[in-house]
Amino acid sequence: MLLFLIPILLISITFHEYSHGWMASKLGDPTPRESGRLTFNPLAHIDPFGTVILPFLLLVVSQGAFAFGYAKPVPINPYHFKNPKKDIMWVGLSGPAANFLLALILIAFLKAGIMMFPKILNEAIILGIIINFILGTFNLIPIPPLDGSKIVASFLPYRISYKYLRMEMVGFLIMMILIMSGFFRWFISYFVFPVINMILSAFGINVVI
């Protein structure tokens, strides 16, 4: 299934980043379109480290049990928004929402074709469901630069919000520590997987992850 991992991850993060750009564009910011990021072309969103090197390193370190990646953030200029604090929240929410939507679409495909698709295709669809639920959930964590931080920042006073969002380097180090400590593997095993199993069961799909 590792052969499916990179293509599924590329599609998932492309959909995620496109959604950020689409939402920002709808709220009045032309920056994503002008920077060429309002596209489904994965090449426009690939970050050499976050999209290629990091997932590979995590797969090696975790012996194939865990991988995480990210794309180049879509450039956004909040000064184009009518209500910057409120609109940045919607931009932040749009990425995880896109991944959850994609996961639900894949669940519908699985439900419709589970008796007709080859086993390997069903397994690839299940992998896509898992990756999108993980991406959506992971990005809601309120650690800069993850999307959850933008949601939290929308409720903070401007000065505190600005300083909070500027803590991207510290946030990145915190994420690396949490990843290497095994926290995210625990979180995925005991929270994300049970939620996915519950949703699959609600759709009448008898697959246990």
Q: For the residues of 122-155, what is the DSSP string, one character each? A: HHHHHHHHHHHHHHHHHHTSSSTTSHHHHHHHTT
- Give the Cβ contact number of residue 60 at 10 Å: 10
184-193: Cβ within 8 A, 24+ apart? 184/66, 184/68, 184/138, 185/62, 185/65, 185/66, 188/66, 188/134, 191/137, 192/130, 192/133, 192/134, 192/137, 193/130
17 is catalytic: yes
**Maximum Cα–Cα distance for the chain, whole Å?**
56
Selected catalytic residue, list 17, 34, 123, 168: 17
**At residue 153, what is the residue type?**
A
Tokens at residue 149, please? 């931080």
**At residue 195, what is the residue type?**
V
- Catalytic residue IDs: 17
